[in-house]
Chains A and B, each alone.
Chain A
Amino acid sequence: MPRHALAYLLSGAVLLALAALALAVGRFPVSVAELATLLGAKLSGSVHALEPNVESVVFQVRGPRVLAALLVGAALAAAGSAYQGLFRNPLVSPDILGVSSGAALGAAAALLFALGPLATQALAFAGGILAVGLVVWIGARLRGHDPLLALVLTGVIIGTLLGAALSLLKIAADPAGTLPAITFWLLGSLAAIAPRDLAVAAPLVLAGLVPMLLLRWRMNLLALPDDEARALGVDTRTLRTVVIVAATLMTAAAVALAGVIGWVGLLVPHAARLLVGPDFGRLLPLAMMLGAAFLLAVDTLARTLVSVELPPGVLTALVGTPFFLWLFAVSRRSW
């Protein structure tokens, strides 16, 4: 069996097993047999003999949370894969162009004025999109520089500015009420996600994913020096813009849903590339599966490990740091 087929199969199996585990474990344990009965009944439309609270735990409480972890993990990993190719750098994460800082500022403003959860999500999404829009707009006007370098530097500068604005909002916030809300939002959480939130975020992620799937071959050429890609017949400026729009849409939707969760978009594409190589058509599906599995595993640990819920961002960093250092040590210079 070719190596990449094996990688897909194993990742798919791990993903399914993790999803079953995540639905089963928790303060109210559900057995695998009960899960199977529930899913069978749901699919065939028949009735089952289980207690109604089993059904509500699986479909109302854990189901949306599991789906959210899968969606956010896959979206962050896809956006990270695209950006690492686009910036020709395996150490790039999806928020390099300021999407997270913009989203954080939007969410903090909504929380400061207590506008409610829906407005918080909407402002986070809008903030992320606006921040990247601003970075791309300024970057395109810095002529006479390497376009990629102009983008990255503008992203860093605008990100710093937005960070300062965020600090200002925190100073203005009420230390007993809105400040903790802002702080917790910034740590990221999958706890309070309703099916309605998923129904909004999923189409946005899909809208970003479709162009990436269609352009999977051309994406590879972005990894070449600009002159070479153009001499091979690719309009790199247009392609870069499409990829940035697609990745930003996915990341902003994910961040608006779950807050800022680091490491997934940086670490997972790197690991996937070690397994199937850099070809984007092969990399993207595997990175999405691994990203979904990684975030689901982390979130399941986060809610079962200790009696208080840990923010998933803390655990991704705890797992991510040693894993990344290890990857870095063993992978020499071929990504």
Chain B
Amino acid sequence: MLEVERLAFGFPRRSVGREVSFALASGEVMCVLGPNGGGKTTLFRTLLGLLPAQGGEVRLGGDPLPSLSRAEVARRIGYVPQVHQGSFAFSVREMVLMGRTAHLGAFAAPGAQDRDAAAQALESLGIASLAERPFTEISGGERQLALIARALAQAPMLLVMDEPSANLDFGNQVRVLERIAALAARGIAVLFSSHDPDHAFLCAQRALLLAEGRALEVGAPRDVIRPDTLERLYGVSVRVLAAGDGLHTCLPDVAPRH
């Protein structure tokens, strides 16, 4: 469904990454791990066609990305940005309805079918009760769920989520990971970035380790998230512990204080 081959990405006159290759099938979850400034957001922007690729190829459902119009890309990929405040007090329902834009004609406004799709998206994330609240006045966790609902209203095959757990408290982080797993169970492919390697263990079948714009490792989290790769990625020493029931967790070694 998503195929990335020897992709080079970055800005005009400033290369950020290259030689990144991976593929993602329907219902698969991939977690992208890497340090700040490692190129995660730039990679995502390139996959969404917001930045032109500098080399290599991205194929979406078999079609090369540059051959698709903005609206066609939007019907295949839903993008969940990092949580922001919003500049005008659109209601949560209006915000989610904006996800239907790629399914509308240029001069059309959302109709009954679009309202149903938005209502369903709100329902499936358990935030139907927030529908009439202003987006600017709900909590960060609620805003994150509203942005996921908006991406779902796009009816995409792939969701790209840029640090969906950033700025969320522990409970909301877990809730977002639960949603990711539930979406994958419905056959949607999910690509998300995180600062916490445990998130890859908890809900991803695959992990991509991105350091200085290069794919250090791609594979099952258990195979690629190791003390040596984490040390290379983040420059800190980390133990990877088995939690007993097949799960793993990362525990950093913090230098003792004197």
Interface residue ranges, A against B (CB under 8 Å): 85, 88-90, 214-218, 220-221, 223-225, 227-228, 230-235, 273, 277-279, 281, 333-335
Contact = CB atoms under 8 A, between A and B. Distances in A.
Given A278-B88, A278-B89, A279-B94, A231 B77 contact: yes
B255 interface: no
Which secondary structure dominates where chain A touches chain B?
loop
Contacts of B241: none
25 contacts: A214-B106, A217-B101, A220-B90, A220-B94, A221-B98, A223-B88, A223-B90, A224-B86, A224-B98, A225-B81, A227-B81, A228-B79, A230-B50, A230-B70, A231-B48, A231-B79, A231-B81, A232-B74, A232-B99, A232-B154, A233-B101, A233-B102, A279-B94, A334-B137, A335-B89
Contacts of A233: 70-71, 73-75, 101-102
Contact of B136 (A88, A224, A235, A334): A334
B82 to A, nearest CB: 10
Contacts of B110: 217
Contact of B106 (A85, A215, A333): A215
Contacts of A85: 88
B236 to A, nearest CB: 31
Contacts of B99: 232
Contacts of A333: 136
A227 B88 CA distance: 17
A228 B77 CA distance: 12
A130 to B, nearest CB: 29
A335 B101 contact: no
Contact of A231 (B74, B84, B90, B134): B74
B23 interface: no
B222 interface: no
B45 interface: yes
Given A228-B79, A231-B50, A232-B99, A223 B109 contact: no
Contacts of A231: 48, 50, 73-74, 77, 79, 81
B89 A277 contact: yes
Nearest to A236: B70
Contact of B98 (A215, A227, A230, A232): A232
A132 to B, nearest CB: 23
Most chain-B CB neighbours within 10 Å: which of A217, A227, A228, A235?
A217
Interface string B37-55: 0000000010010100000
B74 A334 contact: no
Given A223-B87, A277-B91, 15 more contacts: A85-B88, A88-B87, A218-B101, A218-B106, A228-B79, A228-B81, A231-B50, A231-B73, A232-B74, A232-B99, A278-B88, A278-B90, A279-B94, A281-B109, A334-B136
Contacts of B112: none
Contacts of B102: 232-233
A215 B107 contact: yes
A124 B223 CA distance: 71
Contacts of B81: 225, 227-228, 231
A217 B48 contact: no
A227 B154 contact: no
B247 interface: no
B104 interface: yes
Contacts of B108: 217
B18 to A, nearest CB: 22
Given A217-B104, A227-B81, A232-B154, A89 B87 contact: yes
Nearest to B102: A233
A273 B90 CA distance: 10
